[in-house]
Structure 1
Amino acid sequence: MQPKKKAILLSLCVSIVLMLAKFVAYFITQSNAILTDALESIVNVLASSFAFYSIYLATIPKDQNHPYGHGKVEFFSAFLEGTLITIAGLIIIFKSTYDLIYPKPIYQLFEGAGIIGATGIVNLIIGYYLINVGKKENSITLEADGKHLLTDSITSAGLVVGIILIQLTRIYWLDSAVSILLGLYIIFNGYKLTRRSVGGLMDESNIELVKNIIEILQKNRKEAWIDVHNLRAQQYGADLHVDCHVTLPYYFDLNRVHQEISSIDKLINGNGNCKTELFIHADPCLPACCNYCEMKDCPVREEAFRGEIEWTIENATKNQKHFDQ
């Protein structure tokens, strides 16, 4: 089984067991704060189920109807998870506000705290595991699910502290107050997850990713690569799609142009963190390029070389040759 599928299947199975444990804790205690954690666990199970399906789709090879593959479904999965987290947070706040006005008795808080504490530790371990696998496999779905579980473990820790405080002080309205605070924290994390997924669905530029590609090109640049511009990168699940324009000497024949473009392709795929598909447009050089062209013994040079222009995110992403700046 692929690492991504193995990781998300483990997350799904664990989420189901922990959800049942949290509802047992709620029925024992009748605590709103514990119900908060139990309701969020339903979101965990739903999100992990859809995440498993989205990872299955993302691993399907590209076809005629999906020439860029199916990886973008992972952004939709993260969006759904973020939306479900936010809805759960809103429900928690509304219910807890009602019970703050009309309180009800709660019982056996220490037993409930023990169950919630144990589930928090499990979520912490599984969360870090999913994030590590997600980064290694370039899966936003696994990272999102892992961060969700880390959020759940933090809310569980806060919940345990709140339960102990309630038991020691006998101030029972703190139960609803703690639940409201945890609900706000859940909504905040749901917003962050949704914001990132919407950025991916809208093909928002990943600045760090683009910087990394430019740094690789700059460190390994060849004299024939006069400049690189109009560089763009899009992430589709575990696959990266990059397109750019490369200025080459205009007298290169088609074989030499293909050789240079293939070198760039091998360079990016050999040094990058994920599989990359490149679409490179070759531009012919112009006399205005001569002052920063490093080609030695160029037969058509019209101006002396004055200095290299370092490739940065400012000039490499613009749709213009560097002499136009």
Structure 2
Amino acid sequence: MDAKLSNLQPQKKAILIALCISIVLMLAKFVAYFITHSNAILTDAAESIVNVLASSFAFYSIYLATLPKDENHPYGHGKVEFFSAFIEGTLIAIAGIIIVFKSGYDLIYPKPITQLFEGASIIGATGLVNLFIGYYLINTGKKHKSITLEADGKHLLTDAITSAGLVIGIVLIKLTAIYWMDSVISMLLGLYIIYNGYKLTRRSVGGLMDESNIDLVETIINILQKNRKEPWIDVHNLRAQQYGADLHIDCHITLPYYFDLNQVHQEISEIDKMINGNADRKTELFIHADPCLPACCNYCKMKECPVRQEPFRGEIKWTVENATKNQKHFDQ
């Protein structure tokens, strides 16, 4: 538990930095709106409110992830990170919808816009800050396997992109004096925000519903294939679930039926050590041992098998297709 707590300290630090900076940037953007009365700038300012709310919830979710397993949460509390990402995606989408409707109203009933260059300067500066903080959160999230930090970082990168588009739009409005472009730009940015909110929500729902992560499964299968031993006749019914930074895997492994319980335990323990020694995150394995059958002999590599009934013909390479099915490989 001490190791887990120390691993989460960089995550807490990163999200706390993002939260404090988000509050400052939100205030700066509202200052820009009040001096310009630009809908496009209001769009960016409204999204900053979402940034602050999302970072606040992200900080709380990372705190929950530090809590130890208990009777009600035998897999720990890591899945709260998916819920955090879902909340953030939902807030982003709601902000985008509000922005689109507000911009549509002001397109019909326009308001005067002033001091656009000053407003553009403020928005440009906030965009650069969000760009650096976004990359910082994404890199920290990838390093520590935190979907919460990655989600918050991608959100800030989206904010930086919209700010860049906003600055370009404001300059065009000022140069052309076509002021209705303000609401059009705002609506386009609102649609882009909705799209990003959908993508983030879709990913989080997949995690909450234990959607199969093919990349994770393929990584584990490759490790097993690269380090496979003679007694490991086949691996099947392999499934992976992610709980925050931790990975939980269960699978069936076919072993020689004449192995005693000590030998079976030793083989399973070796697989556990091998996965945790090669995978890039803490992994908890639940391995069910199946006895071999005569039909397994043709792909079994045991050289001194006392019960072999037919000769070895060739190894069946473990892949996502055969290792995830709930059947021994002779049934393929």
Measured against the shorter chain, the TM-score band is over 0.9
Equivalent residue of 2:112, what SS?
Answer: coil
1:207 aligns with 2:214: yes
Give the 4+ runs in structure 1 shifted more than 3 A: none
1:293 aligns with 2:306: no
Partner of residue 6, structure 1: 13
Read off the aligned partner of 1:183 and give its amino acid letter: G
Partner of residue 278, structure 2: 271
**Distance in 1 separating the partners of 2:70 and 2:247:** 17
1:259 aligns with 2:272: no
What displacement does 1:23 show? 0.3
Partner of residue 121, structure 1: 128
**Distance in 2 separating the partners of 1:135 and 1:84:** 23
Partner of residue 138, structure 2: 131
Backbone CA RMSD of aligned residues: 0.6
**Distance in 2 separating the partners of 1:256 and 1:129:** 47
1:79 aligns with 2:86: yes
What displacement does 1:292 show? 0.1
**Distance in 2 separating the partners of 1:297 and 1:260:** 17
Aligned residues: 325
Read off the aligned partner of 1:173 and give its amino acid letter: W
Per-residue deviation, residues 218-244 of structure 1 (Å, max 9, x unmatched): 011001100000000000001000000
Partner of residue 219, structure 1: 226
Partner of residue 97, structure 1: 104
Partner of residue 197, structure 2: 190
Equivalent residue of 2:304, what SS?
Answer: coil
Partner of residue 247, structure 1: 254
Per-residue deviation, residues 17-62 of structure 1 (Å, max 9, x unmatched): 0000000000010000000000000000000000000010011111
Task: Name which of 168, 175, 180 aligns with 1:161.
Answer: 168
**Distance in 1 separating the partners of 2:31 and 2:194:** 24
Equivalent residue of 2:43, what SS?
Answer: helix
Task: Name which of 153, 161, 174 aligns with 1:146.
Answer: 153
**Distance in 2 separating the partners of 1:93 and 1:215:** 47
Per-residue deviation, residues 66-118 of structure 1 (Å, max 9, x unmatched): 00000000000000000000000000000000000111100100000000000
What displacement does 1:64 show? 1.2
Read off the aligned partner of 2:255 and give its amino acid letter: L
1:66 aligns with 2:73: yes
Equivalent residue of 2:110, what SS?
Answer: coil
Read off the aligned partner of 2:113 and give its amino acid letter: I
**Distance in 2 separating the partners of 1:3 and 1:248:** 42
What displacement does 1:273 show? 1.2
Task: Name which of 319, 326, 329 aligns with 1:322.
Answer: 329
What displacement does 1:63 show? 1.0
Partner of residue 232, structure 1: 239
> Which segments of 5 or more consecutive residues in structure 2 lack a partner in the other structure?
1-5
Partner of residue 36, structure 1: 43
Partner of residue 307, structure 1: 314
> Which segments of 5 or more consecutive residues in structure 1 lack a partner in the other structure?
none
TM-score (norm 2): 0.97
**Distance in 2 separating the partners of 1:183 and 1:271:** 43
**Distance in 1 separating the partners of 2:15 and 2:213:** 25
**Distance in 2 separating the partners of 1:183 and 1:282:** 53
**Distance in 1 separating the partners of 2:277 and 2:131:** 34
